[in-house]
Structure 1
Amino acid sequence: MFESTMMDIPLTIDMILDRARHAAADVEVVSRQPDRRLHKTTYGAIAERTEKLARALIDAGIQPRDRVATLMWNHAQHLECYLGIPLAGAVIHTLNLRLHPDEIAFIARDAQDRFLVVDEVLLPLFEAFRSQYPFEKVIVVGTTKPLPPEAIDYEDFLKRGTPGIALPKIQETDPLGCCYTSGTTGKPKGVVYSHRSTILHSLVTALPDSLDLSMDDCLMAVVPMFHVNAWGLPYTATLVGTRQILPGPFLDAASLVDLMETEKVTVAAGVPTIWMSIREELDARPRELKARMVVGGAAAPEKLIRDFDRMGLQLIQAWGMTETSPVGLVSRLSPAAQLLPVDEQYKLRAKQGRPAPLVQVRVCNEEGEVPLDGKTSGELQIRGPWITQRYASGVVDQRWTDDGYFKTGDVANLDALGYVQLTDRTADLIKSGGEWIASQVLENAIMGHPAVREAAVIGVPHPKWSERPLAVVVLKPGCKANADDLRDHLAPHFAKFQLPDAFVFADTIPRTSAGKFKKTDLRQEYCNWTW
């Protein structure tokens, strides 16, 4: 038998750490602290502290596959957790601090997180859900005040990581990280990334035709590290030795532009609302910036792409989901596309893009795969080595085809050049500022108000947030309620960004023959709503 002679070396987090230690030891990682000061360290120092963290976790009783949660902004200590928790054989579970405390508690409980690493500035948020889920140990980063009795300072915790504590042998199929979906079609569901999937995702996203990162770049990930692992960019940047700028909690346009200018950022990544605010900042106070800016989480308007070209900045559209690690599509112009008229090129750049290497996509409807005409619609389906094949915690879901494709739930078309364009959603979801909002959950809650007979929630175009929820409400005969009453009714149960911006009171809501709300009619009626 004639077999491969290649070495069988597992693709694990050790490879990223070794690369950082030996090839990029002097490369800076810059973090903005809660007091706005810039903290500067290097990959070499982070590698050393990462090993201490891994050993400290083992010393504290963490076992392979145990979950360690983080509730943190973007900074160097969070990067240490990205590397150190899986180095200990455990699973890093990033908690989305923008969710309602009840949702955070549900997700931590569902994942059975043992430890929590939390920023001191986020302790008030932790206090809001701590009684609902008792972590075994709470480790606090950036302590300046006395800690709760059961908590320990992060720096003191690292001192437990002595060299005598052995690190486990990790397999590439072992779990590395966990993120939860936004709960748009029910309760949030866990997606678990392996060491292998993370390494492959990092390699491919670094390619020139993908997100294009190298040791010559300076990356500022504005996308939060608690949001699908900041699109995997902290791992990609560490693997290739890219200098990183981590903005902490300061995501206003002025602070971000200041960092881009002073730190000479060449690549940045964030949702469209971030780039819209930066466009306004640069229009008001022009700066000399030269950067590629990756936009994801929601579609970027063509005008935004044109505006940044005018400013000498390149906006690159990308698409993905929690289930896809997340990068699945990237919209870069192919050689054939570069021969098209300029207006046609902009139309392509405003699409979600073409599959990243190693990713396969197709668009299917009832008749099978759609023709490559850029018009015929179907559901986008995707598969690849970093696409999940199931949900965690025993959740059963019918979102996979018999031949292994994940059904995204997005309606799309596919053109002859291979560009995918999302045109609608199979579920009535609202995407606002890069975050999903479940309309049916809001509807049920509104209809829980004693004065409400029925309510339908739709997404209406918004100049800043892409979409915002608008609620159409029918009151019970003889009952009274206004927008403030309904908003107060919802506020204890939802995060602020999930609340409808407007309430319209109507006599009836159109329904389909099956008795369901006919939201297509509502969207058409309110498509020109003025905020």
Structure 2
Amino acid sequence: MLGQMMNTPLTTTSIMHFAEKVYANSEIVSVTADNPNHRYTYADAFKRVRKLANALAKLGAKKGDCIATLAWNDYRHFELYYGISCSSMVCHTINPRLFPEQLQYIINHAEDQFLFIDVMFIPLLEKLAPSLTKVKGFIVLTTAEMMPKQTTLKNLHCYETLLANEADTFDWPAIDENDASALCYTSGTTGNPKGVLYSHRATILHTYATAMPDVFGISVRDVVLPIVPMFHVNGWGLVYTCPMIGAKLVMPGPKMGDGETLCKLINQEAVTVSAGVPTVWLALLNYLEQSQQQIPTLTRVVTGGAACPQPIFDNFREKHGVEVHQAWGMTEMSPLGTYNTLKPHMVNWSEPEKTKVRLKQGRPAYGVELKITDDHNNELPWDGKSSGAVKVRGPWVIQRYFKAEHDACDADGWFETGDVAVMDSEGYMNITDRTKDVIKSGGEWISSIELENCAMTHPQVLEAAVIGINHPKWTERPLLVVVAKPNQVIDKAGLLKWFDGKVASWWIPEACELVDELPHTATGKVSKKDLRVTFEGYVWPSV
């Protein structure tokens, strides 16, 4: 017997209609290249989205076409998210920080028909344009006054001019909830980047999950500053979650890494919740320390993309009264997998006890099935000791990469994430490494993440990374690579002694090297691949 409830399709169009009716007056505030303080409402935004949909139709864009964006977090990029997907096209957000050859590959592989780009990316596209075989035109996200006077790009349009004469009414097409809505490529740390094609259904279910109290827990009373780029895994879904629940959105534009701008936005707009990678929080905390400013309205921040060092937790909580919550996921998961909040019985624990929990990646959100397995694919217990490969499945987890011939998951539908973790009996996941970064010394595993977290608690260390280096006796040993805080001089021997009593003695790095800066990937993570290249052939001081 089947149930007799309505089978209303789950589409991003429904978010747009709902937000416009229920939360019409909620604001979106943006920093853009042509306006440092743009401000309008959801009603204004979706009125312009209808204009955009008409403009797309006139350009000749059709159902199923991939329409790409190279843009920062601002109101025009927000409009593109809805104008493209709700028109039954695919919104392909591209990371402009990728190498030019990766960008060329991605645009051609996706067969993007049009590119919507911020002004600053015009020189980049001018170099790539001759090799972009399918692109029919470029739309610059700016006003007529800010358009370039000269450019080699063909069929170039101004976004504001394109929208100006269009009607603000549009007959939105009926969309199957399983139709593709958005496309995002992995950063391609091995081989070419791979496309992850999201459906409307997966996106809506993911949006429901992110809004739950023990996940992002955002409400209409919140003011949200998404610092995580909108070109990175749907901006962690906040572009959908905030309109769905009516929260005010604050967009930092190209200033997402600038501590001063972030501080100003937080205080000017009374931001309560923010989300970004650890490097962003380091930039903000360093600015706050130097300027002696406070951020009284901010209550919590979400961090992900890389393991968050303990000093970030401590600094936010002790100096600013802000709680830090770790989240974990990946492009292939839309991206939400786990989120860290304390359970009721932990609230009265001592701060050191609570910190041990906070440093974990959190509990799976409902909708994500998660398990850890050994090398023979045997499922391991959640006992806080057994370490294994993390595998996931669920309605917003990838089944197959875009244009791939075979599924990305195994015969039972499990996708292997590439992470190695321990699960405890309370359901908290603690990632100990990436499969490709794990260090095996003398036949035993060493967690580079745990060593990095320990190093980051040293008062003179700004940033730290640990990689495995060949060793004549132990096969591999950990090498600690650190960046000192400004005006600090680090004693390498003293720093290695810092680990005494904090980790197993045989885990302590064999040596320490000081660098001016660590290499980062396009998404802000420390690039251990580049570090391994830098220290290839490294000779241990004591060998």
TM score, norm. by length of structure 2: 0.79
Deviation of the 1:288 alpha carbon = 3.7
Alignment of 1:384 with 2:387, yes or no, is no
**Aligned mates of 1:505, 1:318 — CA distance in 2:** 33
Is the 8 Å Cα contact of residues 23 and 246 (structure 2) preserved in structure 1?
yes
User: Deviations for 1:397-442, whole angstroms, at most 9, x for unmatched residues?
Assistant: 6x5222111100111110010000111121249999xxxx9x9xxx
Distance 1:389 1:141, change over 3 A: same
**Aligned mates of 1:496, 1:327 — CA distance in 2:** 17
1:286 aligns with one of 278, 289, 293 = 293
**Aligned mates of 1:279, 1:33 — CA distance in 2:** 23
Q: Secondary structure at the match of 2:418?
A: strand
For 1:202-217, list aligned pairs within 5 A.
202-217=207-222
Distance 1:357 1:165, change over 3 A: closer
**Aligned mates of 1:464, 1:179 — CA distance in 2:** 35
Distance 1:256 1:507, change over 3 A: closer
Structure 2 gaps of 5+ residues are: 439-447, 453-464, 468-475, 486-518
Distance 1:103 1:46, change over 3 A: same
Match of 1:136 in 2: 136
Alignment of 1:252 with 2:258, yes or no, is yes
Deviation of the 1:167 alpha carbon = 3.2
**Aligned mates of 1:127, 1:350 — CA distance in 2:** 44
Distance 1:463 1:304, change over 3 A: farther
Distance 1:175 1:128, change over 3 A: same
Match of 1:316 in 2: 325
2:352 aligns with one of 340, 343, 354 = 343
Instruction: Tell me which amino acid in the other structure corresponds to 2:76.
Output: Q
Instruction: Tell me which amino acid in the other structure corresponds to 1:294.
Output: V
Alignment of 1:177 with 2:182, yes or no, is yes
**Aligned mates of 1:237, 1:165 — CA distance in 2:** 23
For 1:94-133, list aligned pairs within 5 A.
94-133=93-132
Q: Secondary structure at the match of 2:113?
A: strand
Is the 8 Å Cα contact of residues 192 and 392 (structure 1) preserved in structure 2?
yes
Deviation of the 1:114 alpha carbon = 0.5
Q: Secondary structure at the match of 1:37?
A: coil
Deviation of the 1:383 alpha carbon = 1.1
Q: Which moved more, 1:282-291 or 1:383-392?
A: 282-291
Q: Percent identity of the aligned residues?
A: 39
User: Deviations for 1:15-44, whole angstroms, at most 9, x for unmatched residues?
Assistant: 111122111111110001225620001100
Deviation of the 1:160 alpha carbon = 6.1
Report the RMSD for the aligned CA atoms in angstroms.
3.0
For 1:46-195, list aligned pairs within 5 A.
46-134=45-133, 135-143=135-143, 144=146, 145-146=148-149, 148=151, 149-159=154-164, 161-162=166-167, 166-195=171-200
Q: Secondary structure at the match of 1:129?
A: helix
Match of 1:402 in 2: 411
Match of 1:15 in 2: 14
Is the 8 Å Cα contact of residues 71 and 122 (structure 1) preserved in structure 2?
yes
Is the 8 Å Cα contact of residues 67 and 115 (structure 2) preserved in structure 1?
yes
Q: Secondary structure at the match of 1:404?
A: coil
Match of 1:236 in 2: 241
Distance 1:462 1:222, change over 3 A: farther
Q: Secondary structure at the match of 2:344?
A: coil
Alignment of 1:371 with 2:376, yes or no, is no
**Aligned mates of 1:108, 1:261 — CA distance in 2:** 38
Deviation of the 1:120 alpha carbon = 1.4
Deviation of the 1:507 alpha carbon = 8.0
Deviation of the 1:162 alpha carbon = 3.5
Structure 1 gaps of 5+ residues are: 440-455, 466-489, 509-521, 527-531
Match of 2:42 in 1: 43
Instruction: Tell me which amino acid in the other structure corresponds to 1:419.
Output: Y
Is the 8 Å Cα contact of residues 51 and 87 (structure 1) preserved in structure 2?
no
**Aligned mates of 2:304, 2:284 — CA distance in 1:** 15
Match of 2:31 in 1: 32
**Aligned mates of 2:275, 2:130 — CA distance in 1:** 35
TM score, norm. by length of structure 1: 0.81
Distance 1:165 1:337, change over 3 A: closer
Instruction: Tell me which amino acid in the other structure corresponds to 2:149.
Output: P
Instruction: Tell me which amino acid in the other structure corresponds to 1:184.
Output: T
**Aligned mates of 1:502, 1:102 — CA distance in 2:** 20
Deviation of the 1:342 alpha carbon = 2.9
Q: Secondary structure at the match of 1:193?
A: strand
Q: Which moved more, 1:181-190 or 1:165-174?
A: 165-174
Distance 1:48 1:363, change over 3 A: same
Q: Secondary structure at the match of 2:69?
A: strand
Paired positions, count:
462
Q: Secondary structure at the match of 1:113?
A: coil
Q: Which moved more, 1:71-80 or 1:249-258?
A: 249-258
Match of 2:306 in 1: 298
User: Deviations for 1:340-380, whole angstroms, at most 9, x for unmatched residues?
Assistant: 44322111111111001211111111361212221211001
Distance 1:222 1:505, change over 3 A: closer
Is the 8 Å Cα contact of residues 185 and 331 (structure 2) preserved in structure 1?
yes
